[in-house]
Structure 1
Amino acid sequence: MLGYYLHSINAQQALEAIAKELSCVRLSTDLNLSERDFSLSDQSLVLDDDNRLSIADLKKIAKKTQRIYLCSDGDMVPLEDRSYGYYKLVPTSGAPLLEISGVKMHISKGTDPFVSASEMAKQAVSKGDKVLDCCSGLGYAAIAAHRLGASEVLTIELSPEVIGLRAQNPWSNDLGKEGIVQRQGNSFELITTMPAISFDAVVHDPPRFSLAGELYSEEFYREIFRVLRPGGRLFHYTGNPHVVKKGSSFVDGVIRRLKAAGFRQVKKVEHLMGVSAQK
């Protein structure tokens, strides 16, 4: 572990324990992957010999409900990147989600970002499949595909800011497992270099249309069709549950372009805000 991950909820738990004059408090400091007991001493949370958080520190963390702090080597640093736009990890009751300039990159309402990404992977991936994950993000869909028994997962991410954040996210650690290949680059360009009929399944979870319209184009869908084997499956996240449910020019346009690219059995998957299709 890189350090200790603190956010509003576990900081508040520590403050409440200090107020009750308890000697220890049970917390998750790895973003809900596990829990352990930590000492409370001299009105402070003692993470280890080098990392002690005062009441003032804990109150600062508790006040920022949409932020995660990494505590290590005596420092307390928010998990964010402001070098280009505003990228940050946001706490949830499960895995953290990625937010870019105020836009959440995961389905999180009523579910957990890792769970929803796993459900997306299940729409397309079967055991033994070779899988292409076009827009990796924090890598949740790629990890889920690997856990479903995929023989190999190629996962692509363009943004160095996202790659930097996921390197600090404990939920993304399994991207380093054998069988997952990570590449940095533009999926629109990289897919043209891939051999035909080389994947059994594709998971496509692109940024919103205004940021990456080319990833919703018939030209790109034709490339996905080309690299899929006959019978291969695609799940394509499109976003906005109301739009998917009621139908719209946007989602209908996605479906129309997928069919024009050659896909069949193109269906809306309402609860995952996306579309499934088969070659």
Structure 2
Amino acid sequence: MLGYYLHTKNAQQALDAIKKGLSSVRISTDLNLSEQDFSVTDQGLILDEENKLSIADLKKIVKKTQRIYICSDGDMEPLEDRSVGYYKLAPTDGAPLLEISGVKMHISKGTDPFKSASEMAKQAVRSGDNVLDCCSGLGYAAIAAHRLGAKKVLTIELSESVMGLRAQNPWSNDLNNDGIEQRQGSSFELIETMPSISFDAVIHDPPRFSLAGELYSEGFYCEIYRVLRSNGRLFHYTGNPHIIKKGSSFVDGVIRRLKAAGFKNIQKVDHLMGVSAQK
């Protein structure tokens, strides 16, 4: 682990323990993957000899409800990247979610991002598959595909900022497992370099249309169709943009273009805000 991860919930747990005069508190410092006991005093929380958080530090963390802090080498830094735009990881009751300039990149209402990504993977992936994961973000769908028994997963992410954040995210550690290949670049460009009929399943989770319209184009869908083997499966996250024109919804447009590219058995998957299809 790169350090100790703290956010509003566990910082508040530490403050409550201090207020009660307890000598220790049981909290998660790896974003809900596990819990352990740490010492508290009337001065604050003791993570280890180097990393001690004062009551003022803990109150600062509590105040920033949508921020995660990493504590390491005696420092406390937010888990974010402001080099181009504003990228950060935000806490949930499960896995953290990726937020870009205030927009959440995952389904998190009533679930957590890892669970929803796992459900997306289940729509397309079977044991023994070769899987292409386009626009992978924190890599949750790729990890889920691997856990479902995929033989090989190629996962593509364009943003170097996102790649940097996921390298610091404990929930993304399994991307380093054998059988998963991470590639940085444009899915739109890289798919053209891939051999035909080389994947059994594709998971496509693009940014919203206004940011990456080419990833919703018939041309891109034709490329997905080309690299899929016969009867190969696609799950395409479309999100839930409220774009209604003359009775034709955004998702209906996606379905129309998938059909034009050759896909069959196209189904809306409402609870995952996406569409499944087959070659």
TM-score category, normalised to shorter length:
over 0.9
How far apart, CA to CA, are the structure 2 residues paired with 1:188 and 1:230?
21
Deviations 1:9-29 (A, max 9, x none): 000000000000100000000
Q: 3-state DSSP class of the match of 2:109?
A: coil
Structure 2 partner of 1:233: 233
TM-superposed CA distance for 1:178, in Å, is 0.1
Structure 1 partner of 2:5: 5
How far apart, CA to CA, are the structure 2 residues paired with 1:258 and 1:224?
10
How far apart, CA to CA, are the structure 2 residues paired with 1:238 and 1:249?
11
Q: How does 1:19-168 map to 2 (within 5 A)?
A: 19-168=19-168
TM-superposed CA distance for 1:243, in Å, is 7.1
Deviations 1:199-252 (A, max 9, x none): 0000000000011000000000000000000000000000018779xx843111
Give, as a single letter, the amino acid of the residue that structure 2 aligns with 1:258: L
Provide structure 2 residue ranges, at least 5 long, that are not aligned to the other structure: none
How far apart, CA to CA, are the structure 2 residues paired with 1:195 and 1:2?
38
Structure 2 partner of 1:202: 202
Q: 3-state DSSP class of the match of 2:108?
A: coil
Structure 1: which 4+ aligned runs deviate by more than 2 Å?
241-244
Deviations 1:119-158 (A, max 9, x none): 0000000000000001110000000000000000000000
How far apart, CA to CA, are the structure 1 residues paired with 2:147 and 2:62?
34
Structure 2 partner of 1:268: 268
Structure 1 partner of 2:214: 214
How far apart, CA to CA, are the structure 2 residues paired with 1:184 and 1:36?
35
TM-score (norm 1): 0.98
Q: 3-state DSSP class of the match of 1:48?
A: coil
How far apart, CA to CA, are the structure 2 residues paired with 1:134 and 1:259?
20
Change (3 A) 1:182 1:130: same
> Share of identical aligned residues, percent?
82
Deviations 1:40-64 (A, max 9, x none): 1242100000000000000000000
TM-score (norm 2): 0.98
TM-superposed CA distance for 1:81, in Å, is 0.6
Change (3 A) 1:138 1:124: same
Deviations 1:144-175 (A, max 9, x none): 00000000000000000000000000000000
Structure 1 partner of 2:187: 187
Check the 8 A contact 1:241/1:273 in 2, yes or no. no
How far apart, CA to CA, are the structure 1 residues paired with 2:188 and 2:241?
25
TM-superposed CA distance for 1:184, in Å, is 0.4
Give, as a single letter, the amino acid of the residue that structure 1 aligns with 2:44: S
Give, as a single letter, the amino acid of the residue that structure 1 aligns with 2:204: H
Q: Which range is displaced more, 234-243 or 96-105? A: 234-243
Check the 8 A contact 1:142/1:155 in 2, yes or no. yes
